[in-house]
Amino acid sequence: MGGLFQYFREVRSELGKVIWPKREEVVKLTATVLLISAIVGLYLTALDLGFTKLIETIISG
């Protein structure tokens, strides 16, 4: 049991050494990730719709 407490003490010590980002940086990076995710989602949706129409055309051909 003492090993477990030692582990958590070390974890707490290491977390104290972390340089956490500022709020503005977190907001900016989160917005960037959301924007890129939306762009990729739209691109994949367009590809899916295009391939669906292509397959429908080939099948009904």
Collect all residues with Cβ–Cβ distance below 8 Å to 29 and sequence separation of at least 6: 21
Q: Which residues of 28-51 are buried (b: 16+ CB within 10 A; e: fewer)?
A: eeeeeeeeeeeeeeeeeeeeeeee
Tokens for 35, please give them: 């924007």
The answer to whether the predicted template modeling score (pTM) of the entire model surpasses 0.95 is no
* pLDDT score of 27: 98
CA quadruple 44, 45, 48, 49: dihedral sign? negative
pLDDT digits over 16-48, tens only? 999 999 999 999 999 999 999 999 999 999 999
Nearest to 29 by CA among 38, 21, 17, 40: 21
